[in-house]
Amino acid sequence: MSAFLVRRMTSADVQAVALLDQMSFSLPWPPTAFQRELETPHSRCWVTETRLEAPLDYPSPIPESLPSLSLQAGDLAIVAMLVLWKVVDEAHVATLAVHPRFRRRGIARQLLTRSLSAAAREGARSAMLEVRASNAGAIRLYKELGFAEVGRRPRYYKDNNEDAVLMTLEALNPQTFQTAPHFAENP
């Protein structure tokens, strides 16, 4: 099994992160948004990287926005990203994506738990997020981590007028989560 490193995002990661966002969402953030997030004091930007065992492509679904990225076996690759906003004593998960080839390996769980634990160490006492009502896998993961549905935003997503499910995690603290052994952390 490949080893994964959860670490803070840097400017060098922005191209891969923006492509990952475009591959993952029908309403992706503009490519420049991730650089702005890195420069915003309340943003906490994280990535998960691994050394590739086989080539990996980040095709650009929006060709005019970013060039595609192709990596070879042995290269380090960003396979997941998360942006969290720390506002007073709340952590707001703004976006979370995993490369399609690396889904269902526990990467989203570890990235989320690492970032929330770090936010708790910085004083966050609760967390919130919104997720598409149709994203059953993500909703299941969030519930497994202790999030509860607290409401809905009707027709929140403008591409198809889908509702957003609002979820919160109360009583957040640094000891809330455990780490899987094949994940390392580099704060």
- pLDDT tens across 61-97, in order? 655 566 666 677 777 889 999 999 999 999 999 999 9
pLDDT at 55: 77
Between the two ends of the chain, the Cα-to-Cα distance in Å is 23
* Residue 157: active-site member: no
Whole-model pTM? 0.86
Separation of alpha carbons 168 and 68, rounded Å: 36
For 4-125+171-186, CATH gives 3.40.630.30
Catalytic residue among 64, 142, 144, 149: 142
Catalytic residue among 49, 130, 149, 185: 130
Indicate the domain borders of the chain.
4-125+171-186
pLDDT at 182: 46
How do residues 116-146 score in pLDDT, each as one tens digit?
A: 999 999 999 999 999 999 999 999 999 999 9
Does 85 or 183 have the greater pLDDT score?
85
* Residue 142: active-site member: yes
